[in-house]
Chain A
Amino acid sequence: MAILNKLALGALMLGTAFGTSSTFAADQTITTVVKLAGETWFTRMEQGVKEYGEKTEGVAATQVGPGKADAAQQERLIEDLIAKKVDAIAVVPFDPPMLEGVLKRAMDRGIKVMTHEANNLKNTMVDMEAFDNAAFGAHFNDQLAKCMGEKGTWTSFVGSLGSLTHVQWADASAANAEAKYPGMKLVSPKNESFNDANTAYNKTKELLKKYPDLKGIEGGSAVDPIGIGRAIEEAGLTGKICVYGIGMPKDTSRWLQSGAVTGISLWDPKDAGFVMNKIAKMLIDGQEFKDGMDLGVPGYTNMQLKQGPGKGIILTGQAWIDVNKDNLDKYDF
């Protein structure tokens, strides 16, 4: 892993050096602005950004991000890009409403703007979402149902009842089970883990006491499966209870390998980075976006087009990937 990290870091440094020097050579510059530089998630995204730049003639694609997860620093980075007059920026906003002003200025200067994970943002031309939250929640539930044999007691976790996406997933899961699997019984739904694996652990133990016949658990926060998995492994119930949730492959790998966590789902930031740049390039070229269009990356082959809150549009894919014991080694993040 250390070697991989070093490789990624080296590639990153090379990439930045390359990016700036080739700015003059390339016709078009697309810069991706992420929430936090150096974070595993965005390091993986950078691979996709660079891959797009290498595969596409006449495009210099680079990625930048603040050293600290901070909306003001992200705003300053975008100001710099406006001054440099890049052709397009692709942003993963830390706090979308905070960037409304600076993104409007960018568009006024003729810079193409596309965003990711910001479907409430007004000043963007295209916002790209990897998937629809309700569909993602239903997908969790379908996996869980298959593992449980479509019957038995199950429950769900959320980071907190204030985490909008978590609650959307949990509610969509519950609705899916009610509509499709009459044999499944939901008990004590939406337990709050407060994004703390230890709380998820404690609550799982309590749930196991209260419902000794528990057969399935869904985690909503990325640390939930870790805490749930530990509780199950410690209780000697590995393999007897199905656990699905969102998670990072590397962080969850031990629990996936032991079988205490059955599977996790997520979207691959590398694919997202690639698609973001592809959309930015289409904006530069003035291409039209159509409902159901194919962006050439698995999960992004049938983009749903929707009007956004501003003048821009929202494109939604079905780009979740399911990671389990068998395909775990394919994901190095």
Chain B
Amino acid sequence: MSDFTWGNSTSEGAAWPKRIVAWLVRHPPAFTLILIVLVSVIVGAISPEFWQISNIFDMARASVVTGMFGLGFLMILAAGGIDMSFTAIAALVMYWITTAVAAYMPSMPMPLILLMAAAGGTLLGVCNGLLVHYLRAPALIVTIGTQYVIRGFLLTFIGTELFVNVPTSIESFGKYELWQVETDSGSIAVLPAYVLVLVVAAIVTWWILNRTLMGRAIFAIGGNSSIAERLGYDLRKVHVFIFAYAGLLAGVAGMLHVSSNRLANPFDLSGSELGVIAAVVLGGARITGGSGTVIGTILGVILVTLVNNVLILAGIPSSWQTFVVGCFIILAGTVFASRERT
């Protein structure tokens, strides 16, 4: 893959294929986009049912929770950290708030509920950030620990049962429609309004990373934390901020999950963190930190969602599906790695 003749492809007067490669190296998200197009073309060729407006709606809907997680993870990764606890945060926040609202204030309006979820997630994220900072232990191990603690707390003290009596405000929020179309086969496809939450989150994340001092500090610390510290960046502030922000997004994501699912299951979302990490890395962020873009992350999330939601369309038997997803991730990951060696 890392053909050495491409090594100096940025030199003047290179032939056009080399220039394209060079451009791709500098713009990793474009590469993700190419993969998305490739997967779409292949699946579309196998199964013409792929080309439906309802499919775009379904992808958008299925991307929301992964996308929220991905944006939070991107923020932490950009600063050179890693987070394994976001699904646990989302599960605790969604289950606790949903059952509490149903029990004590079933008529609470959705904006307030979302605010509570954001606050709850932020609080847990701050704990993560403080632990990572003061324990001076790798963020990976700390957040694996907090993941267990949070999940254990949820299942021991809050509940283990499926909760279906979701308050009306939460439920109707998930039902707001942005757009509705009727398909050829007579069924209805709906684009839910809550996809806008992801759009807002993406814009805010982009703004923080690219237009604020905090964003500059995050990338500086992600590049080299000891140099960044000597340059006067406040490590503690950045650590707490990135984990708090990821926690906030996770809390809101959990609430969106309940709202679209119309039930709260404390066992939901666990195990989805690896897909999120794959999405962020396939979106061009380096797993070692210090890089990554919002547009890349969103494209990575779309790519992973796409691959996960076309396996039946492509006619792959159930027992082969995880195998195929695994192979795809290895393949895409290899191509991305070769990009870094060129």
**Contact between A36 and B160 (Cβ–Cβ < 8 Å)?**
yes
B179 nearest CB across to chain A (Å) = 14
Chain B contacts with A in 285-342, Cβ cutoff 8 A: 309-310, 312-313, 315, 317-319, 321
**Contact between A210 and B267 (Cβ–Cβ < 8 Å)?**
no
Q: Which of A108-116, A200-208, A304-312 contacts B (4 or more CB under 8 A)?
A: A200-208
Find B189's partner among A194, A203, A235 (CB 8 Å cutoff).
Answer: A235
Find A205's partner among B58, B184, B261 (CB 8 Å cutoff).
Answer: B58
Given A191-B318, A206-B58, A209-B54, are A39 and B161 also a contact pair (CB < 8 Å)? yes
**Contact between A196 and B265 (Cβ–Cβ < 8 Å)?**
yes
B135 nearest CB across to chain A (Å) = 28
Residue in chain B with minimal CB distance to A252:
B164
Per-residue contact bits, chain B 47-76, to A (CB 8 Å; 1 contact, 0 not) = 101101011001000100000000000000
Q: Which of A191, A196, A207, A254 has the most chain B CB atoms inside 10 A of its CB?
A: A196
Residue in chain A with minimal CB distance to B49:
A209
Given A201-B261, A223-B265, are A188 and B164 also a contact pair (CB < 8 Å)? no
A270 at the interface (CB under 8 A from B): no
A25 at the interface (CB under 8 A from B): no
Residue in chain B with minimal CB distance to A241:
B187
Q: Which residues of B contact A206 (CB under 8 A)?
A: 58, 309-310, 312-313
Per-residue contact bits, chain B 167-204, to A (CB 8 Å; 1 contact, 0 not) = 00000000000000000111111100000000000000
Find B160's partner among A69, A210, A223, A236 (CB 8 Å cutoff).
Answer: A69
Per-residue contact bits, chain A 54-77, to B (CB 8 Å; 1 contact, 0 not) = 000000000000001100000000
Chain A contacts with B in 11-42, Cβ cutoff 8 A: 36, 39-40
**Contact between A210 and B313 (Cβ–Cβ < 8 Å)?**
yes
Cα–Cα, bound, A219→B269 (Å): 20
**Contact between A192 and B164 (Cβ–Cβ < 8 Å)?**
no
Given A206-B313, A212-B185, A235-B189, are A196 and B268 also a contact pair (CB < 8 Å)? yes
A164 nearest CB across to chain B (Å) = 15
Given A39-B160, A191-B312, A198-B257, are A208 and B265 also a contact pair (CB < 8 Å)? no
Find B49's partner among A69, A161, A196, A210 (CB 8 Å cutoff).
Answer: A210
Cα–Cα, bound, A209→B311 (Å): 12
**Contact between A197 and B265 (Cβ–Cβ < 8 Å)?**
yes
**Contact between A195 and B267 (Cβ–Cβ < 8 Å)?**
yes
Q: Which of B54, B160, B261 has the most chain A CB atoms inside 10 A of its CB?
A: B261
**Contact between B164 and A251 (Cβ–Cβ < 8 Å)?**
yes
A199 nearest CB across to chain B (Å) = 9
Residue in chain B with minimal CB distance to A234:
B190
**Contact between A230 and B156 (Cβ–Cβ < 8 Å)?**
no
Q: Which of A69, A158, A236 has the most chain B CB atoms inside 10 A of its CB?
A: A236
Chain B contacts with A in 255-280, Cβ cutoff 8 A: 257, 260-263, 265, 267-268, 271
A42 nearest CB across to chain B (Å) = 11
B140 at the interface (CB under 8 A from A): no
Find A230's partner among B161, B162, B262, B309 (CB 8 Å cutoff).
Answer: B262
**Contact between A202 and B62 (Cβ–Cβ < 8 Å)?**
yes
**Contact between A188 and B318 (Cβ–Cβ < 8 Å)?**
yes
A226 at the interface (CB under 8 A from B): yes
Q: Which residues of B contact A192 (CB under 8 A)?
A: 318, 321
**Contact between A237 and B187 (Cβ–Cβ < 8 Å)?**
yes
A189 at the interface (CB under 8 A from B): yes
**Contact between B188 and A188 (Cβ–Cβ < 8 Å)?**
no
Chain A contacts with B in 153-210, Cβ cutoff 8 A: 158, 161, 188-192, 194-198, 201-203, 205-210
Residue in chain A with minimal CB distance to B257:
A198
Cα–Cα, bound, A190→B260 (Å): 24
A105 at the interface (CB under 8 A from B): no
**Contact between A190 and B319 (Cβ–Cβ < 8 Å)?**
yes
A250 at the interface (CB under 8 A from B): yes
Cα–Cα, bound, A69→B267 (Å): 13
Chain A contacts with B in 106-128, Cβ cutoff 8 A: none
Q: Which residues of B contact A36 (CB under 8 A)?
A: 160
Given A188-B312, A188-B317, are A223 and B161 also a contact pair (CB < 8 Å)? no
Residue in chain A with minimal CB distance to B311:
A206
Q: Which residues of A contact B265 (CB under 8 A)?
A: 196-197, 223
Cα–Cα, bound, A192→B323 (Å): 13
**Contact between A251 and B162 (Cβ–Cβ < 8 Å)?**
yes
Q: Which residues of B contact A212 (CB under 8 A)?
A: 49, 184-185, 187
Residue in chain A with minimal CB distance to B316:
A188
Per-residue contact bits, chain A 219-252, to B (CB 8 Å; 1 contact, 0 not) = 0001100110010001111000000000010110
**Contact between A198 and B58 (Cβ–Cβ < 8 Å)?**
no
Residue in chain B with minimal CB distance to A170:
B318
Residue in chain B with minimal CB distance to A40:
B161
Find A209's partner among B190, B260, B313, B318 (CB 8 Å cutoff).
Answer: B313
Q: Which residues of A contact B58 (CB under 8 A)?
A: 202, 205-206
Residue ranges of A at the interface with B (Cβ–Cβ < 8 Å): 36, 39-40, 68-69, 158, 161, 188-192, 194-198, 201-203, 205-210, 212, 222-223, 226-227, 230, 234-237, 248, 250-251, 254
What are 28 of the A-B contact pairs (CB < 8 Å)? A36-B160, A161-B318, A188-B312, A189-B318, A190-B318, A197-B261, A197-B263, A197-B265, A198-B260, A198-B261, A198-B268, A202-B309, A205-B54, A206-B312, A207-B312, A209-B50, A209-B54, A209-B55, A210-B47, A212-B49, A212-B184, A222-B162, A223-B263, A223-B265, A226-B263, A250-B164, A251-B164, A251-B263
Residue ranges of B at the interface with A (Cβ–Cβ < 8 Å): 47, 49-50, 52, 54-55, 58, 62, 155-156, 160-162, 164, 184-190, 257, 260-263, 265, 267-268, 271, 309-310, 312-313, 315, 317-319, 321
- Add 17 more A-B contacts to A194-B271, A209-B50 (CB < 8 A): A39-B161, A188-B312, A191-B318, A192-B318, A196-B268, A197-B261, A197-B265, A197-B268, A198-B261, A202-B58, A206-B313, A208-B187, A209-B55, A210-B47, A212-B187, A234-B188, A236-B188
